[in-house]
Amino acid sequence: MRITRIETFLVPPRWLMCRVETDDGVVGWGEPVVEGRAETVRAAVAELSELLLGQDPTPIEHHWQRLTKASFYRGGPVLSSAVAGLDQALWDIAGKRLGVPVHQLLGGPVRDRVRVYGWVGGDDPAELADAVAARVESGLTAVKMNASGVMGRSATVREIDGVVERLARVREVLGPDRDVAVDFHGRFNAATARRVLPLLEPLRPMFVEEPVLPEYGHLLEEVVRCSPVPIATGERLFSRTDFLPALQAGVAVAQPDLSHAGGISEVRRIASLAETYDALLAPHCPLGPLALAASLQIAFATPNFLIQEQSIGIHYNRDAELLDYVLDPGVFAFPDGHIRRPEAPGLGVSVDEDAVRRADRKGHRWRAPVWSHQDGSFAEW
């Protein structure tokens, strides 16, 4: 068996998919993308493909080591995401070749279902409450919300009160039997995060995500120390070495993204590293069907797993939806807030290749919004 062709597809709303084909007809799929930089990652996949074409796809670890280390310049979001998608595709091929789902190749399942959550938008508390009610109606038992909209790095009293009010309205809708996570998106400075976190504890959020920007990771320990709320981070960390300082700082939840952090091969190692720090795994995934499918394979084989993000119905999905590119949408159904363990081989999902190729002809040019404060300085989105 040899790899004969590697293709990429730029599909709405903001995703990139890759297809790896072998000479005996087995095809693997992956999702290598950085949101807003899909074309850049596409170029990186094309370059890395030179290391895979003509090779046996079976030695996945050998390929991962070569893709990540056979160059003087390593790591970063673009290269790590390109590797991630190719790695997913190689695991997909391995599972299909052996007739088993990937989680069986990772040591077998440790659970039969995986709890999932959905993201909710809305800056106005009443609007946010309506969005949460709709998510509950869809079957979810957990949601994630932004702590705030655009705000100054050092928050005003009104802005701080607004964060608490928003969370209080959401807790009112959810009641005591459902969960909410709060995403700070690194929009606060460390001092503001330290002020806000204790105010949220009476509302019992499941965790608070990215209380500070990843480049201020050296401040994370003092934020964790002052917080009665579990701290999560990781969507902008791309390797074990990136995660190690955050885990040493005491974060409770690690959030690697299967399409950014080196794919299945690296995220399984990040999960094991997190377990040695008594931290749980909650993979980040506001992306498409292949990223979610890969995340679920990790979830089913990871003892210290907490919950899985999924993007069905997220506000980014304006021109297409996650289910538009799969032949069996039922594989991602969550009637009771959980997705059942897939039995299909590989990543466990059948891609609608015709839909993907049609979408690629349309393509997309999704870009992250550029936010700025009144003084002209830039803000986190």
315 included as an active-site residue:
no
Considering Cα of 238, then 243, then 245, then 250, what sign does the dihedral take? positive
- Residue 290 in contact with residue 29, Cβ under 8 Å? yes
Could you say which of 185, 315, 338, 373 is catalytic?
185
* DSSP-derived 3-state class of residue 317: coil
Nearest to 77 by CA among 51, 119, 47, 44: 44
DSSP result, 121-164: --SSHHHHHHHHHHHHHHT-SEEEEES-SS--SS--HHHHHHHH
Tokens 């999902």 identify what position? 349
Is-catalytic flag, 62? no
Cβ atoms within 10 A of the Cβ of 339, count?
Answer: 21
CA distance 122 to 50: 44
Q: Beta 142-146 vs 179-183: how paired, if at all?
A: parallel
**What is the tally of helices (H) and strands (E) in the chain?**
12, 14
- Return d(Cα 359, Cα 12) in angstroms, integer: 7
Tokens 């009443």 — which residue? Answer: 126
Catalytic-role residue among 284, 315, 338, 364: 284
Q: Of 185, 364, 216, 169, whose CA–CA distance to 284 is shortest? A: 185
- The residues that are catalytic are 185, 284
